[in-house]
Amino acid sequence: DGGITQSPKYLFRKEGQNVTLSCEQNLNHDAMYWYRQDPGQGLRLIYYSQIVNDFQKGDIAEGYSVSREKKESFPLTVTSAQKNPTAFYLCASTGGDGEKLFFGSGTQLSVL
Amino acid sequence: GESVGLHLPTLSVQEGDNSIINCAYSNSASDYFIWYKQESGKGPQFIIDIRSNMDKRQGQRVTVLLNKTVKHLSLQIAATQPGDSAVYFCAENNAGGTSYGKLTFGQGTILTVHP
């Protein structure tokens, strides 16, 4: 099955710790995105990458970092600089027709 | 403040009724609009999209209407079913065709369908 796989489903972070959220896609999509969703709110763009080895900041990039070493993978690191990391994190991609953003199933990050 | 986002608009309908979910978008330069459906604990699911050179677009049981004059978007769901119960988000893109995935999302509307 083609799709976007995010792991883990649930993640807990201790204070001062960096954690990395995984996102893998087998859709052969060029562009990948990370969004953050807080309870009862819409999604906000953290980072995006339109091509391997290149990425740009979104609206709320502070406290986050990404890499895009492979077309299939776009991991997101939530650093200790992110003081309010508790949220639902969604990875997405666009390809073929350039439109229609497809989402993964999300990772819920909580702080211990 | 902390209360922002906790009071989502809600729409409650009976099974079989038609539902209309509304959205006001912010950027007059936006040229691409999308509706997503999100069930609890899952990622958003694409429903239908529309470009700014259109006023209306129909899909299976869904219709999107775009009024650029007042920057308003609506999603109509015909013969609403209990499985349609979810949070519905509108989203806009103003990247001019350079990055369709850079979306600005609305707050969302909770749709509840009663059997």
Per-residue pLDDT of chain A (112 residues; tens, 9 = 90+): 569 999 999 999 998 899 999 999 999 999 999 999 998 888 999 999 999 999 999 999 999 999 999 999 999 999 999 989 999 999 999 976 656 889 999 999 998 8
| pLDDT of amino acid B1 | 33
A48: Cβ–Cβ under 8 A, 6 or more apart, which residues? A31, A32, A33, A34, A55, A56, A58, B99, B101, B102
pLDDT band for B34, please (50, 70, 90 cuts).
Answer: very high
Which of B8, B43, B46 lies closest to A100 in CB terms? B46
Residue B90 has pLDDT above 80, yes or no: yes
Query: Mutate which of B100, B109, B110 to disrupt the A interface (most A C-beta within 10 Å)?
Result: B100
What would the two tokens of residue B85 be?
A: 């119960």
pLDDT band for B57, please (50, 70, 90 cuts).
Answer: very high
Amino acid symbol at B58: Q
Cα separation, B48 vs B35, in Å, equals 6
Q: How distant is the alpha carbon of residue A90 from its chain centre?
A: 5
Residue A33 and residue B105: Cβ atoms within 8 Å? no
A23, A10 contact by CB (below 8 A): no
CA distance B40 to chain A (A): 11
Chain B contact present for A98, CB below 8 A: yes
- Within 10 angstroms of residue B34's Cβ, the number of other Cβ atoms is 23
| pLDDT of amino acid B97 | 62
Lay out the sheet containing B62-67: strands in order across. B19-24, B72-77, B62-67, B56-58
| pLDDT of amino acid B20 | 97
| pLDDT of amino acid A57 | 96
Which of A42, A92, A106 lies closest to B42 in CB terms? A106
Per CB-CB distance under 8 Å, the chain A contacts of B34 are 100-101
Provide the pairing of β-strand B86-93 with B104-105.
antiparallel
Kindly identify which residue of chain B lies nearest to residue A87, measuring between CA atoms: B41
| pLDDT of amino acid B5 | 41
Q: Which residue has the tokens 């999300």?
A: A106
What would the two tokens of residue B20 be?
A: 């209309």
CA distance B104 to chain A (A): 7
Share of chain B above pLDDT 90, in %: 77
| pLDDT of amino acid A16 | 87
| pLDDT of amino acid A2 | 66
Greater confidence (B100 vs A93) lies with: A93
pLDDT band for B39, please (50, 70, 90 cuts).
Answer: very high
Each residue of A27-64: b (16+ CB within 10 Å) or e? eebebbbbbbbeeebbbbbbbbbbeeeebeebebbeeb
Q: What are the tens digits of pLDDT across the range B2-12?
A: 333 456 899 99
CA neighbours closer than 13 Å in the CB half-sphere of residue A112: 10
